[in-house]
Structure 1
Amino acid sequence: MAQVLSAQESSEFRALLITAINLNVEIVTAFGSITGEVVQTGSVIKIPLNYVVLKQAEKDFVYIPLASIHSVIIINKDGELS
């Protein structure tokens, strides 16, 4: 059964990800983990508020619904976890 986040949990992930703009993060979902740089909303295209966008390569972007996120790990510049 899929995990359903409350509105508060989704807004907490959103707040954390806003502080991580331009930083590398690992996002864990039921489907696996995704690593990339958090892209600011609207810098590429208009992004719905309930999604986060990670840039994995120069032209490779992944759109992740906040409701599917299990955890967020912020990765420091030297590869250490925050």
Structure 2
Amino acid sequence: MKTFFVQIKCDLGQSYEVASALADAEIASEIYSTAGNFDLMAKFYVDDDVDVGHFVNEKVQVISGIKDTFTTVTFRAF
């Protein structure tokens, strides 16, 4: 399994709608609201053969209200 995080910048006033849509899609294991440059952070797990770039492009960035994303791929949990 691959683990990665996506920080999400939402259109103004759309954070809760984006978080709900992400939860309804059942693709993220955890979704958090955040302060700073991004509004949300979501944690994802995908099978090793799944391309993270395609996953984010086709499953996350298509959600209405998302303005920008920043993906962090992880290597090991301690």
**Whose helix proportion is higher, 1 or 2?**
2
Fold conserved between structures, TM > 0.5: no
Query: What TM-score does the superposition give when structure 1 sets the normalisation length?
Result: 0.28
Query: What TM-score does the superposition give when structure 2 sets the normalisation length?
Result: 0.28
Higher relative contact order (CA 8 A, sep 6+): 2
